[in-house]
Chains A and B, each alone.
Chain A
Amino acid sequence: MSGRLAFVNPEIALFAGTCVVMVLGLSRTFRTRKASAWVAGAAIVVAGFLAWFSTPSLSEAVCPITGHLFSEPVTASQGQMLLPEMVPFAKTMIAAVGLMLLLAMAGTVDRADEERIAAGRATFDPLRSNRAEFYAFFLFSLTGLMLTASADDLIWLFLALELTSLPTYIMVAISTSRNRSREAAVKYFFLGALGAAVFLYGFTLIYGGTGSTNLNEIASSFREHGISTLAMAGVLMSLLGLAFKIAAVPMHYYTPDVYEGAAPQVSGFLAFVPKAAGFIAILLLTAAVGWEYAGGAVGVNSLMASDAPEALRQVAGGKQLPEVLRLTLWVMAALTMTVGNVLAVLQTSVKRILAYSSIAHSGYMLVGVIAGPVGDTFTRNGVAAVLFYLLAYGVTSAGTFAVLAALERSRDRSGEPGEVEHLHDIRGLCASHPALGWAFVICNLSLLGLPPLLGFFGKLPLFTAGIAAGEIPLVVILGVNSAIGAYYYLRLAFTPFLEKPEDDAEPVAAAPFRSRAVAAVASAAVVLALSAFGGRAMVMSLNAAKYRPSPLPLEVKHDVNGEPAAHDVAGVERAPDDFHE
């Protein structure tokens, strides 16, 4: 069990941070309250370091902070995972993007109250303060996300997904004092519950079909006995439910309303965290099914013409998902990117454009899921492409939303500063706020996928992996959609520096929280840095996509106490040979 705990060290660090933050945020003195954000940041940094240094190496690795030797217990549990190397990559990425999002969160809640307290017109009332909850929920959500990455069991997966999502509902609700936020939160909550119900139903069907909740055992069962109709229906339902997390068609309806209702920094959070959770969960499920089935056809059109029963036969030994799943994901991907892009074209609100575009990005990434980890290079491996795209999208969208968060218009009647929302609000931004303006331009050009920038290097492997997997029609749809995406992304990128604000336009001011601007500029800098020197990250994502198609039979038997019995026999130092590869 201690091995297992070492495995979730980053989550433990985050949770410890959460507890501290919850207490600190209720302090009477402003300085202590303010420290809660710093503690949250420290917790994320520690979690990131733990994730990176404790889990990656399959051989002996000593955690620099605790001095704990991670070699053996960790490998034992990693050895059972289908995507064993994904965990450290995903968690480190989560910590990195999370840190950037945290920077943008400064001053989201309690702003008016704190101002009154600072002016001496009010005293601190713990019951009215939201700060503690806000940062605690932020960390909870990240904890859930990291737990999703470590999941090897359906129950764990469900709990982790819900731990990711539940705090976000509240974060949306308290992110501004407007009714719009509350309305958004209610919609998000109810629809989220609907989505959760669907994939939970799917999970139960999988359990019904295989008799196990352990992903590894499920995978073995699929391999040995084939996929029963019941289990297939379960996987299908799970994917449809998880589509809510990634905002894929047909579960995407909430996205624009929720993004618009929440404060921009929280929208940035929603653009990354639930999406990452959804994709990690989808990857885990599809990895359990495996990309080893022969499809009789290339592309959906030829599939329709082909002999239908043959498509169901699902011969093992090929290089794709079972035809039913492939088709579901195919349709979902094509619809998601198309719907996201065409609706984004019509919008004039920056937040709504970004919301629809985030739907489209999910559609792009689904192409990587369909292609699967079959290729052995970065440009042919769909899973590596998805992981790298998550990183690229997370960093870039955090920057875009941080720019919006770092700006504000004059206060409305309720005393809440107006949000920068409409396209005409960002006109001439490069002249009035050069750092923010150029960060916005860079991030949007990267999201568009303009060649020298990070977004291009993210999108390219999706194309090539799709082609390598033979999904030519889908790749064509992806290309057409990228072109449509260019329409609104270029508008977003060029409005700040080509257009001049109208004379009577209300001026846009910088929000009094410098860390938001820091987040924006930092993420633009990371985009540029990864554009130039992203090779290492690509190699890491390729490594993270290492897929173990036929996982080891469960050598480590669990005794009644839940302790892996093999350790007692083999001794702590000796790891099974297979883990040294």
Chain B
Amino acid sequence: MLSQEHITGHAATAIDEGGMLTMLVPALTILAVVLCGLFAAMRVKNKAPAFVTVALLAASFVAVLMTYLNLGVEKTWIAHGFDWINFSWSGSENRKLTTHALIANFSFYLDGLTILWMLFVTGLGTLIALYASEYMSHDVGAGYCRFFAAFSLFVFSMACLVMADNFLLLYLGWEGVGLCSYLLIGYFYKKPSAVAAAKKAFIVNRIGDLFLALGIMLIYTHFGSLEYTTVFAQTETYIEALKEGNLEVIPATVQLIPLLLMGGAFGKSAQLPLYVWLPDAMEGPTPVSALIHAATMVTAGVFLVARTYPLFLLSEHALPAVAWIGALTAFFSATIGMAQFDIKRIMAYSTVSQLGYMFCGLGVLTSVGGAFHVFTHAFFKAMLFLACGAVMHGFAGQLDLRKLSGVGFMRGWKVTTVAMLVGCLNLAGFPIITSGYWSKDMILGEAFANPHTQAIGWILLLTAGLTAYYTFRVFFRVFVGPVQYEMGDEHHGAHEDAHGHGEATHAPAHATHATPHAPGWAINTVLAVLAISAFAIIPFTYSHGGWVHTMIEGSTARYEGAAAYLGHGEHAHGTFLGFEAHGALMVVSGIVGAIGIVIAWWLHYAGRTTAATSRADALLPKLGPIPRWAQHKWYVDEFYDFLIVRPLWVLSNIFHFIDQYIVDGIVDLFGAAPSLTGKAVRPSQSGELHSYAAWMAGGMAVLILIVILVAT
């Protein structure tokens, strides 16, 4: 469907100064952080922090929207905030005087890609903050303030990451979102599993960040600048050379850069082999999972690749690697998702899997498809998480799909159920009426359209079927079927008095939560808005990505028709079993999705009488140990533990011994020297005036004597 003339041969976009309105986004979000801090200091015990955050985030959204409406995306705009880092120095290399500069301003680079990302970051941020105002209500007080402060700080960092006009500010935002993610995963810091998950997320991300940092340093050493405009101006020349097929003019250093950046992207976006942190990150409050670990932060890796797409085009191996890793991750995590019982974890694995799709989109040269999928996924995945969160909130933390059934038939759960259904249809890629179908189809079609990436296409197609199955497994088990439930064991403990149910004294904690409580207006509103927008975006986007396409084609993520080595020239048109790829896939992917749904219906809904059992139970033993392995996530965590954690632990113990007894011993020996010297010199500090005068005069004499002796 996406033919070459749409995406090739785009001249470099004009760059102009403007768009200062976007400076409001960091200003407003940091204001929200400060205000939440003040609320905490004032010991506010109401929902003020939430509403301040919602209002300021909404204002940020309006600022971005206004910028888009006023400026459009035909040009790239640079909004200069203030000079941040600006060093220059001269040195001599090979006897030539050279001038170096390190410039990284607090400036924003506003192209279609930036605006697209910022629109959904601030828009979803606002909605999810509104949702959280109700969801977190059991924690009103210091914790509530802390939550919203970190939440706003996250949007601030994300804004820096997305809008930066240089790699340093991007890195700052990158680390900022990592920090906020850590803070929010570990929000329930008294719960050991939450703390462990926070640490895991932080440490695994560090591995990726190391690669990103190295990539940025290499960019600086090679291109002599960190500013996008300068760097991308230089990549233009390389790309021109590539179009003529001169692959060898590109230095090896430049080819290494995208591989390093890719490492950073895979850490942040939870791809193989660094995906392990994301499922555990579900320990955080659900709004956090929805915003940070589904809709926005985890797409930062996709953003990074899209932002530095010109660099990725320069390497023979970078984009194929991106595509392959994406495809394998998509498939691998889908298999794990099929065997899980915790509905939030299923959603987490589906996020990892869908992120794989997005990387595939970038890797098979449909950056529009990748961005399109990011965009649709942000809506429906946030919605799925929020619906799961509503269930978790209402059933006291119950997330096991074997202990919940028929939620949709209970009083007050209609909106949640409809939202869940819409989300599931989107995720499963139900034909025509869901936006998820259109975006996924674009990636699938493009994968098959390129003869070199047919294998990736097959993996993705199979994954699409698995996705439909595990998605509807959740829906059929939890939301329909016989009404049966078991409450979770989370009875908001010490916060009981601050609980949003009312000020009156409750009966004992267990009694309060013996019955589920349906979500209130804030949760329902947000779910309804998201459900409607998941449909509403279809008319704007279904044809070649439509609006998303216009956003991407002027941005850095445009495809220049340069990557001839991928065999994606005009003559190489891949097919799907002899049919034109895009057209065939529209039908086939729809059928595959439907099959997945039907299997889920037959195994998990038809004839099911209890919450705990289903027809699938009978089937499992026939598959041997595979389901068990999948349920244990293919033992990857154990494998990492064995391969990396244990050896490091042993090594660190050895080093600890060496440090404690050998190095410290030597240091102590040296450490004694200053105090011994001090003790020797100390007597001169007698406190007597005349002796001081004598020492001073004597000291001067000695000093002059030394100078005379040495210098003459």
Residues of A within 8 A of B (CB): 186-187, 190-191, 194-195, 198, 236, 240, 244, 249-251, 253-254, 256-257, 300, 303-304, 308-309, 311-312, 323-324, 327-328, 331-332, 338-339, 341-343, 345-346, 376-379, 484, 487, 533, 535
Contacts and interface: CB of A to CB of B under 8 A. Distances in A.
A190 B696 CA distance: 12
A250 B692 contact: no
Given A253-B684, A308-B712, A327-B710, A191 B85 contact: no
B695 A253 contact: yes
Given A190-B689, A324-B711, A378-B87, 12 more contacts: A194-B696, A194-B697, A236-B707, A256-B685, A257-B687, A304-B710, A328-B707, A331-B707, A346-B679, A346-B682, A379-B89, A487-B671
B681 A339 contact: yes
A250 B682 contact: no
Interface in B167-220: none
Given A191-B696, A250-B698, A253-B696, A312 B706 contact: no
Contacts of A191: 689, 692-693, 696
Contacts of B86: 535
27 contacts: A191-B689, A194-B693, A244-B696, A250-B695, A253-B692, A253-B695, A253-B696, A254-B692, A257-B687, A300-B710, A308-B711, A308-B712, A311-B711, A312-B711, A328-B703, A328-B707, A331-B706, A342-B674, A342-B677, A343-B678, A345-B674, A346-B678, A378-B87, A487-B674, A533-B84, A535-B83, A535-B85
A195 B699 CA distance: 12
Q: Top 8 nearest A-B pairs by Cβ distance? A: A250-B699, A342-B678, A253-B692, A342-B674, A346-B678, A377-B89, A342-B677, A324-B711
Contacts of B697: 194
Contacts of B698: 250
B691 to A, nearest CB: 8
Nearest to A484: B674
A104 B562 CA distance: 66
B700 interface: yes
Q: Which of B86, B679, B704, B710 is packed against the most chain A CB atoms within 10 Å?
A: B710
Contacts of B87: 378, 535
Contacts of A484: 674
B702 to A, nearest CB: 7
A342 B706 CA distance: 22
Interface string B654-693: 0000000000000000010011011101101101010011
Nearest to B711: A324
A187 B681 contact: no
A378 B678 CA distance: 35
Contacts of B84: 533, 535
A236 B692 CA distance: 21
B98 interface: no
Interface residues of B, number: 36
Contacts of A254: 692
A438 B695 CA distance: 39
A300 B679 CA distance: 26
A303 B712 CA distance: 11
A338 B692 CA distance: 19
Nearest to A308: B712
Contacts of A323: 711
Contacts of A324: 707, 711
Given A191-B689, A343-B682, A251 B699 contact: yes
State the main secondary structure of chain B at its contact with A: helix
A530 to B, nearest CB: 14
Nearest to A324: B711
B685 A332 contact: no
B92 interface: no
Contacts of B237: none
Contacts of B707: 236, 324, 327-328, 331
Nearest to B82: A533
A304 B671 CA distance: 29
A308 B709 CA distance: 9
Q: Which of B88, B90, B695 is packed against the most chain A CB atoms within 10 Å?
A: B695
Nearest to B701: A250
Contacts of A198: 700
A85 B396 CA distance: 69
State the main secondary structure of chain A at its contact with B: helix
Q: Which of B685, B696, B700, B707 is packed against the most chain A CB atoms within 10 Å?
A: B696
A240 B700 contact: yes
Contacts of A331: 703, 706-707
Nearest to B697: A194
A212 to B, nearest CB: 25
B708 to A, nearest CB: 9
Nearest to A251: B696
Contacts of A341: 674
Contacts of A332: 703
A339 to B, nearest CB: 6
Nearest to A346: B678
Contacts of B700: 198, 240, 250-251
B699 A249 contact: yes
B674 A187 contact: no
A343 B692 contact: no
Nearest to B687: A257
B711 A342 contact: no
A195 B692 CA distance: 12
A407 B583 CA distance: 78
A191 B689 CA distance: 8
Nearest to A375: B89
A24 B701 CA distance: 48
A251 B684 CA distance: 12
Interface in B72-118: 83-90
Given A191-B689, A323-B711, A240 B679 contact: no
Nearest to A309: B712
A184 to B, nearest CB: 10
A342 B681 contact: yes
Contacts of A309: 712
A300 B710 CA distance: 9
Contacts of A186: 689
B172 to A, nearest CB: 11
Contacts of A378: 87
Interface string B355-396: 000000000000000000000000000000000000000000
Interface in B399-439: none
B703 A187 contact: no
Given A339-B681, A376-B90, A345 B675 contact: yes
Contacts of A487: 671, 674
Nearest to A239: B703
B504 to A, nearest CB: 36
Contacts of B702: 250
Contact of B675 (A251, A342, A533): A342
Given A376-B90, A377-B89, A535-B83, A343 B696 contact: no
A256 B682 CA distance: 12
Nearest to B671: A487
A195 B706 CA distance: 20
A501 to B, nearest CB: 24
Contacts of A300: 710
Nearest to A186: B689
B85 to A, nearest CB: 6
Contacts of B706: 327, 331
A81 to B, nearest CB: 26
Nearest to B679: A346
Given A312-B712, A328-B707, A345-B674, A187 B692 contact: yes
B575 to A, nearest CB: 57
Contact of A346 (B88, B675, B699, B710): B675
Nearest to A241: B700
Contact of A343 (B685, B687, B699, B711): B685
A217 B342 CA distance: 86
Nearest to A539: B86
A115 B58 CA distance: 54
A338 B525 CA distance: 69
